[in-house]
Amino acid sequence: MKRIKWIAALGIFLIAFSLNASAKKASHKNKAQIAYNQGNYAAALAMWEKSIAKYERRHKEVKCPYYTKAGMAAIKLKKTDEARQLFEKAIHSASVSPVAYVELARLYRKIDNLSLEIFTLENYVKKYPDGGAVKAVRERLFATYVESENWDEALKLWEKLPEQVKNSIAFKTDYLKVNRALKNTKVCNRMSSEILKSDPKNVTALDWKAKKYFWLAENRYQAELNAYSKNKTRSQYVELLRVFKVVTVNFKRSLYYFKKLYSLQSTAENANYLGNIYARLNDDAKAKYYHYVAEKKKTAGK
């Protein structure tokens, strides 16, 4: 009978001890969160780091629920390297969350690690297609695709962007770059016209228009010149003169856009185009001037 009572007493003691330990553990958790909520980020980070250390000592990082919380505290303290390391662990642990991916991508952007930023953003979209930040993540992902020249991926993602975003000049400009790289001429013609209506000084759109008309004129000019050199008949000469009038119109259109472009970007390339256009328009003085400027800028690395 005494033995039974002793066992019962021991059981009660163990239960009480376990409850007390759990209460202390819960209290520790709450203290860290309370400290964070009160703006005492250093104290919160210290407590979460202590909890994290216990998991890591037992090699149970995957089950650790504190990495994201600690990462947020580290951000508040402007400890960006520490925050990045915590979020890198968070996305492979029990504390994984949309916030961890968003913050990690932002930190990769801060250190200019474009490939890891793209990887993180892509994972967010895959894991949280209906996440609260998915629109903003897709917008940034599109920009990173353009920046890294992942043209095909950018084109696929374009269709998933909200109309309001696709109607912004910045995104239209990037979309123009994508289609220019993929040689989607019709889209580029339409998009460049749309952009210039709202932003007459848009360099990307001006560059497309200027080169479009230049090469329309130059290619036709060279084709007719070659045809005449092979068949110098009166009828071919008449055709050559007719074509010269047509290409002159396009050279003048190109000149209009290149003059605007040059006022915004006075590069060696743009100066050379201006020189070539003036040469085709028989303005030898201006052709000579811009070719001289182009050569000078090229030598100076401009």
- 10-residue stretch averages of pLDDT, the chain, 302 residues long: 43 40 52 96 97 96 96 98 98 93 98 98 97 97 98 98 97 99 98 98 99 96 77 74 86 98 98 97 96 95 81
**Where are the chain's structural domains?**
30-196, 205-300
CATH number 1.10.10.10 given to 30-196: no
pLDDT of amino acid 301: 87
Is residue 51 a contact partner of residue 32, using CB atoms and an 8 Å limit?
yes
pLDDT of residue 4: 45
pLDDT for 219 equals: 93
Per-residue model confidence (pLDDT) at position 28: 57
* 205-300 shares the fold of 30-196: yes
pLDDT for the residue numbered 278: 98
Confidence at residue 243, expressed as pLDDT on a 0 to 100 scale: 75
Contact 62, 40 (CB under 8 A): no
pLDDT at 27: 55
CATH top class, domain 205-300: mainly alpha
